[in-house]
Amino acid sequence: MNIDSNPVHILYDNNKLRDVIMMIINGRSDNMGITFVNLCYQILQLAEQEQMVENSGQVTHTSNEIAPEDQVRVSRVLWELIWDKKVFLLFGRSPLLGLSNGEDRFVKY
């Protein structure tokens, strides 16, 4: 089996990606939300479990990042969710976030 350290391509179509994003965000408390970096990491973890990453089963991925093109797709879906009033951006600090403190977070509307 080969090892690949490049960012990982996820195979979800945009509808499934939207469902995955909402599932992750809905799993968070209203005042915590989730940062973009953490959201992408959780999408990747789920995609790996569901074998929805490129070359699944043939390559061992060592990167914790999704491919830049997929980050753009996640961003577009997040904007659609904002426009649909399903998600909003929470600005400011939270004492509960530790290292992520100060990063803007996405929260269910």
Report pLDDT digits (tens) over 66-106.
999 999 999 999 999 999 999 999 887 665 555 555 678 89
* pTM to 2 decimal places: 0.86
| Residues β-bridged to residue 34 | 106
Comparing 11 with 99, the larger pLDDT belongs to 11
For the CA atoms of 6, 97, 89, 53, the dihedral, rounded to the nearest 10 degrees, stands at: 20
Q: What is the pLDDT of residue 6?
A: 80
Q: What is the pLDDT of residue 20?
A: 98
Q: Which amino acid is at 34?
A: I
Q: Residue 4 above 80 pLDDT? A: no
Are 101 and 80 in contact by the 8 Å Cβ rule? The answer is no
Looking at the 3D structure of the chain, how many domains does it have? 1
Distance CA 33, CA 17 (A): 18
Q: Is 51 left (phi over 0), alpha (psi -120 to 50) or beta?
A: left
Distance CA 21, CA 109 (A): 13
Residue 66: give the domain boundaries.
2-108
